[in-house]
């Protein structure tokens, strides 16, 4: 009888319903889109299409192009605008259309991701370079949105916690990576744009990284959680950053770490604690590690540095010497050659050299992009624990 009820239900659902009354969601799930976009060709050339009979101009910006650049789509038959771009390397990208100047996600692409306060459409160009960022047929770790009290910030805050495959069904204790986002991001960034959970799923499945817990906090000390959950927040200002300076690092070490070590099966010692962050999160990483020496045994600074030319370098060097004395297994620095933070990144490297702080430096192409930060995580995670 299950069968009969279900078939009957389907008949009504698919055929007999008053279409004007159907939920848009259900219609969109049932109807083939009018155009196909994006379409990846056998040579990895990509065609984007969007339907508009009346638009005056349609352009596209993609993460492979750099910020602010656009390419025009051409209007063809029946109002379908399209562009085929040169083959892209196998990887993960995102893009937006601009229809008469209005930013739009691709209406026929169901895969989108949040980029700070904007949404963009996801493009996966399959192949070797994309496999680490895809959901493959491997065991997957669980992802949780976890609320915790932060006495340091006098706030009730949200973080994302990745537990590796096997955590829930086993008894083992795990090391922890504290992974920090950059300016304009929030606790959602490392999984939406960064795909940290899928990168670790894949690295662990390949035996390239040890199973670990990843804790992705919200690094904006004035926020309790991502924008998406709380409409009506005032926009971020420079004053917000300055007002809360240094407080996030305190809350990370004094509130978050004790919470994690109380509620999860973790190895609670320096050599089982790593910290890494990008851009502003790299700044947080530098500050947290030198302010609390002996806390983290593994440190990763992605696309960041120490910036102020007039810094009291003597004092900084003392702090780095104390950190070094506490015993750091790995200090890893990474930056793209075109990154606008390169100068300050070099100042960090200078301090490390001057203090004879054993470290590794990885420099690659590109600038201040998630493509680089996904790569840095892919390289850093296998060095841990």
Least Å from the CB of residue 198 to a second copy: 8
Least Å from the CB of residue 273 to a second copy: 19
Least Å from the CB of residue 211 to a second copy: 14
Closer to a second copy at the Cβ: 138 or 329?
A: 138
Least Å from the CB of residue 293 to a second copy: 13
Instruction: Write the CA distances from 9 to 16, 26, 31, 183, 343, integer angstroms.
Output: 10, 14, 18, 49, 64
Closer to a second copy at the Cβ: 42 or 67?
A: 67
Least Å from the CB of residue 43 to a second copy: 18
Which among 129, 188, 139, 192 is positioned nearest to 163, based on CA atoms?
139
Tell me whether the omega of the peptide bond preceding residue 348 falls within 30 degrees of 0, making it cis: no
CA distance 342 to 348: 10
Closer to a second copy at the Cβ: 5 or 171?
A: 5
Closer to a second copy at the Cβ: 51 or 383?
A: 51
Closer to a second copy at the Cβ: 12 or 42?
A: 12
The owner of tokens 């992009």 is 369
Closer to a second copy at the Cβ: 221 or 381?
A: 221
Least Å from the CB of residue 151 to a second copy: 15
Closer to a second copy at the Cβ: 205 or 383?
A: 205
Least Å from the CB of residue 356 to a second copy: 20
CA distance 36 to 17: 27
- And the tokens for 126? 């399959």
For 79, counting Cβ atoms within 10 Å of its Cβ (0-12 exposed, 13-18 middle, 19+ buried), the class is middle
Least Å from the CB of residue 62 to a second copy: 11
Closer to a second copy at the Cβ: 71 or 103?
A: 103
Instruction: Write the CA distances from 322 to 275, 353, 357, integer angstroms.
Output: 17, 15, 10
Angle, nearest 10°, between helix axes 280-291 and 313-326?
70
Closer to a second copy at the Cβ: 86 or 238?
A: 238
Closer to a second copy at the Cβ: 24 or 77?
A: 24
Least Å from the CB of residue 247 to a second copy: 9
Q: Are 60 and 71 in contact (CB under 8 A)?
A: yes
Pairing of strands 176-180, 213-216: parallel
Least Å from the CB of residue 56 to a second copy: 5
Q: Quote the DSSP letter at residue 121.
A: E
Pairing of strands 176-180, 298-302: unpaired
How many CA atoms lie within 13 Å of 127's alpha carbon, on the beta-carbon side? Answer: 15
Which among 67, 196, 80, 76 is positioned nearest to 140, based on CA atoms?
196
Report the chain's C-alpha Rg in angstroms: 23
Ranges assigned E (strand) in 151-255: 155-163, 176-180, 213-216
- Phi-psi category of 6—alpha, beta or left, where left has phi over 0 and alpha has psi -120 to 50? alpha
């Amino acid at each position: 009888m299950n069968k009969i009820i279900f078939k009957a239900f389907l008949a009504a659902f698919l055929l007999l319903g008053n279409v004007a009354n159907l939920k848009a969601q259900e219609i969109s799930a049932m109807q083939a889109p009018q155009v196909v976009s994006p379409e990846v060709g056998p040579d990895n050339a990509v065609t984007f299409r969007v339907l508009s009979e009346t638009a005056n101009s349609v352009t596209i910006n993609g993460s492979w192009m750099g910020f602010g650049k656009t390419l025009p789509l051409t209007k063809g038959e029946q109002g379908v605008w399209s562009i085929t771009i040169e083959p892209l390397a196998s990887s993960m990208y995102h893009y937006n259309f601009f229809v008469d100047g209005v930013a739009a996600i691709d209406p026929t692409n169901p895969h989108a991701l949040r980029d700070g306060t904007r949404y963009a459409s996801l493009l996966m160009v399959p192949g070797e370079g994309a496999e680490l960022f895809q959901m493959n047929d491997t065991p997957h770790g669980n992802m949780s949105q976890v609320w915790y009290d932060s006495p340091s910030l006098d706030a009730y805050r949200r973080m994302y916690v990745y537990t590796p495959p096997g955590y829930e069904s086993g008894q083992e204790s795990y090391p922890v990576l504290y992974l920090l986002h950059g300016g304009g991001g929030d606790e959602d960034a490392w999984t939406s744009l960064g795909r940290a959970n899928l990168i670790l799923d894949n690295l662990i499945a390949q035996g390239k990284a040890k199973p670990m817990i990843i804790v992705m906090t919200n690094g904006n000390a004035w926020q309790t959680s991502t924008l998406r959950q709380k409409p009506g927040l005032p926009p971020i200002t420079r004053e917000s950053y300055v007002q809360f300076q240094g407080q996030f690092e305190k809350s990370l070490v004094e509130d978050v770490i004790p919470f994690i070590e109380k509620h999860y099966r973790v190895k609670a010692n320096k050599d089982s604690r790593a910290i890494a962050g990008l851009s502003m999160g790299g700044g947080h990483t530098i500050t947290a590690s030198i302010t609390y020496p002996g806390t983290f045994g593994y440190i990763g600074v992605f696309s960041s540095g120490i910036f102020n030319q007039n810094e009291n370098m003597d004092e900084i060097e003392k702090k780095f010497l104390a950190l070094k004395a506490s015993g750091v297994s790995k200090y890893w620095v990474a930056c793209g050659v075109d990154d606008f933070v390169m100068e300050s990144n070099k100042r960090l490297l200078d301090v490390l050299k001057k203090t004879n702080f054993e470290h590794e430096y990885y420099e690659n192409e590109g600038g201040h992009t998630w493509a680089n930060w996904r790569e840095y995580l892919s390289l850093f995670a296998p060095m841990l624990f």
